[in-house]
């Protein structure tokens, strides 16, 4: 079924025969691996964008109520949007902008004077502030995740539409227990709804299971949601006593929290970049093809999302997939084409164990090391340890596929390799993982 075929770089890989017996050629993929239709995102962005534009036009036509107050909050939201940060999981958040939007939606009085701006004006001010804050990012080529910016406008819209008419009906004109409890309840409900929206967007983007995405979003957004929501309520209550000074004074604690979130995100990002750099050592040394570790990581991520792995498991799998071949550095002579799938089971096991030992030296990646150690075991496991972890089984399939296909495999070659993997699902490869790989490839 296999014969050697040159890849044009001096190495060789198995050439799979197609239905008519000819060796399949290499071509570039038709498009990015993860380019998929996202109807929910399109509907969300379109509807919120249209609503924000309508609110802005209406408010401009009828005139802004207390324009200097609206300008102050608009500037705070713009500055907060300018200082947005990206948290683990590619989540863009703007704590200061979000807190400013919440406080403006809840603001009933400023100092001794009542405020009567409508929910339409809240939407207009928030949307304008978000747009102004994003302009410098766009100017330097750092375009935002549009759906994340839209979610911030949507959250302010929901709060304003729900709170301001209700406060007017209840006769709330200043700080009170009733007003505070109402604000807190609405913030909690809006946070939960926003997490659900984010989960649907995440499930649609990663093609993972919705309930898994919901759990991930609730867990990931709890800390930031609590800090932002409480700060927004606090600013709204403080401004009723101190005026606009409260907007600046009570934003300070949020600045500290944002600095802590940013530092945490930078540590995580640096850690991942270090792992990626380490995974490149085998490529620079000529042990594996250029881009092999990255492709295996991307395939593993897609398969894991298809199988419904949680976000924490996805991160560990990404580390393991990037470093799955690091044990090849111990070889005296590189394997032809770096394809470990062609090596003997004994050699595969030795490479995996040496790679695991290297990873364990970090002292913090024991789970990743275990995943790498057991990546070459058959489906039933090796010895008394039982079935290998799901991450190991995913990497085994993704690595075998990329070893046999490489970077430029065409559709026929991918289909032939996939069929070959299916033939070994009774002994070597997990059939669920192979089926998930087929679903990922079907979206190419």
Instruction: Tell me: pLDDT of 26 over 70.
Output: no
Per DSSP, helices labelled H in 243-280 are 245-249, 252-279
Mean pLDDT of 12-24: 40
Higher pLDDT, 80 or 142: 80
Q: How confident is the prediction for the chain on average, in pLDDT?
A: 84
Mean pLDDT of 41-46: 94
N-terminal to C-terminal alpha carbon distance within the chain? 25
Q: Are 12 and 337 in contact (CB under 8 A)?
A: yes
**Of 23-27, 79-83, 358-362, which gets the smallest average pLDDT?**
23-27
Neighbours of 207 (CB within 10 A): 15
Q: Of 397, 407, 406, 408, which is closest to residue 438 (Cα–Cα)?
A: 397
Instruction: Tell me: pLDDT of 32 over 80.
Output: no
**Residue-level pLDDT at 432:** 94
**Residue-level pLDDT at 6:** 42
Mean pLDDT of 124-141: 93
Instruction: Tell me: pLDDT of 253 over 80.
Output: no
- Total residues found in the chain within this entry: 444
Give the residues across from 23 on adjacent strands: 17
**Residue-level pLDDT at 444:** 66
**Residue-level pLDDT at 16:** 44
Higher pLDDT, 70 or 3: 70
Q: Which residue has the tokens 């207390």?
A: 66
Mean pLDDT of 90-115: 89
Q: Are 115 and 69 in contact (CB under 8 A)?
A: yes
Q: Of 347, 373, 346, 344, which is closest to residue 358 (Cα–Cα)?
A: 373
Neighbours of 386 (CB within 10 A): 10
**Residue-level pLDDT at 133:** 94
**Residue-level pLDDT at 58:** 95
**Residue-level pLDDT at 335:** 73
**Of 80-94, 131-145, 267-281, which gets the smallest average pLDDT?**
267-281
pLDDT bracket for residue 35 (50, 70, 90): very low
Mean pLDDT of 102-117: 87
Strands 113-114 and 109-110, how do they pair? antiparallel
* Kind and range of the H or E run holding 6: strand 2-6
From the number of C-beta atoms within 10 Å of its C-beta (0-12, 13-18, 19+), residue 287 rates as buried
Alpha carbons 422 and 424: distance in angstroms, whole number: 5
Mean pLDDT of 201-225: 91
Instruction: Tell me: pLDDT of 442 over 50.
Output: yes
Alpha carbons 102 and 94: distance in angstroms, whole number: 12
Alpha carbons 34 and 428: distance in angstroms, whole number: 27
Instruction: Tell me: pLDDT of 213 over 80.
Output: yes
Higher pLDDT, 420 or 248: 420
**Residue-level pLDDT at 338:** 66
Higher pLDDT, 33 or 204: 204
Instruction: Tell me: pLDDT of 128 over 70.
Output: yes
Q: Are 136 and 155 in contact (CB under 8 A)?
A: no
Instruction: Tell me: pLDDT of 36 over 60.
Output: no
**Residue-level pLDDT at 346:** 85
**Of 92-106, 107-121, 128-142, which gets the smallest average pLDDT?**
107-121
Higher pLDDT, 107 or 26: 107
**Residue-level pLDDT at 4:** 41
3-class SS of residue 93: strand
**Residue-level pLDDT at 11:** 41
**Of 276-290, 318-332, 388-402, which gets the smallest average pLDDT?**
276-290
pLDDT bracket for residue 62 (50, 70, 90): very high
The string of pLDDT tens digits covering residues 375-425 is 988 888 887 788 999 999 999 999 999 888 887 778 888 889 999 999 988
Mean pLDDT of 66-70: 92
Give the residues across from 28 on adjacent strands: none
**Residue-level pLDDT at 337:** 65
Q: What are phi and psi of 86, to 5 degrees?
A: -110, 115
């Amino acid at each position: 079924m296999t014969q050697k075929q040159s890849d044009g770089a001096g190495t060789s890989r198995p050439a799979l025969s197609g239905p008519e017996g000819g060796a399949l050629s290499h071509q570039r993929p038709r498009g990015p691996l993860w380019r998929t239709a996202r109807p929910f995102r399109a509907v969300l962005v379109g509807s919120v964008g249209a609503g924000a534009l309508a609110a802005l036009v209406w408010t401009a036509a009828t005139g802004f109520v207390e324009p200097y107050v609206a300008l102050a909050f608009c500037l705070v939201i713009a500055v907060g949007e300018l200082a947005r940060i990206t948290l683990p999981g590619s989540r863009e958040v703007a704590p200061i902008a979000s807190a400013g939007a919440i406080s403006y939606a809840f603001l009933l009085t400023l100092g001794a004077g009542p405020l009567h701006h409508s929910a339409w004006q809240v939407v207009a001010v928030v949307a304008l502030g978000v747009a102004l804050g994003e302009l410098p990012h766009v100017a330097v080529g750092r375009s935002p995740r549009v759906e994340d910016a839209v979610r911030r406008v949507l959250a302010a819209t929901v709060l304003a539409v729900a709170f301001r008419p209700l406060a007017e009906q209840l006769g709330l004109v200043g700080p009170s227990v009733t007003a505070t409890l109402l604000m807190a309840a609405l913030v909690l409900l809006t946070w939960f709804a926003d997490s659900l929206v984010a989960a649907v967007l995440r499930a649609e983007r990663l093609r993972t299971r919705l309930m898994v995405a919901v759990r991930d979003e609730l867990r990931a957004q709890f800390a930031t949601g609590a800090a932002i929501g409480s700060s927004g309520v606090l600013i709204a209550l403080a401004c009723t006593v101190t005026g606009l000074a409260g907007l600046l004074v009570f934003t300070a604690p949020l600045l500290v929290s944002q600095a802590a979130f940013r530092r945490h995100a930078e540590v995580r990002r640096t850690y991942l970049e270090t792992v990626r750099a380490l995974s490149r050592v085998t490529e620079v040394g000529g042990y594996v093809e250029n881009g092999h570790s990255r492709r295996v990581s991307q395939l593993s991520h897609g398969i894991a999302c298809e199988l419904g792995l949680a976000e924490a498991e996805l991160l560990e799998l990404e580390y393991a997939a990037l470093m799955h071949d690091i044990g090849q550095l111990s070889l005296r002579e590189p394997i032809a084409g770096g394809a470990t799938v062609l090596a003997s089971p004994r050699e595969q096991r030795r490479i995996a164990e040496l790679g695991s030992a290297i990873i364990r030296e970090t002292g913090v990646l024991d789970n990743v090391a275990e995943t790498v150690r057991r990546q070459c075991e058959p489906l039933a496991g090796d010895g008394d340890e039982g079935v290998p972890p799901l991450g190991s089984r995913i990497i085994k399939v993704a690595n075998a596929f990329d070893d046999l296909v490489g970077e430029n495999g065409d559709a026929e070659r991918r289909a032939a390799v996939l069929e070959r993997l299916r033939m070994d699902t009774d002994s070597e490869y997990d059939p669920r993982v192979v089926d998930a790989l087929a679903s990922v490839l079907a979206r190419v």
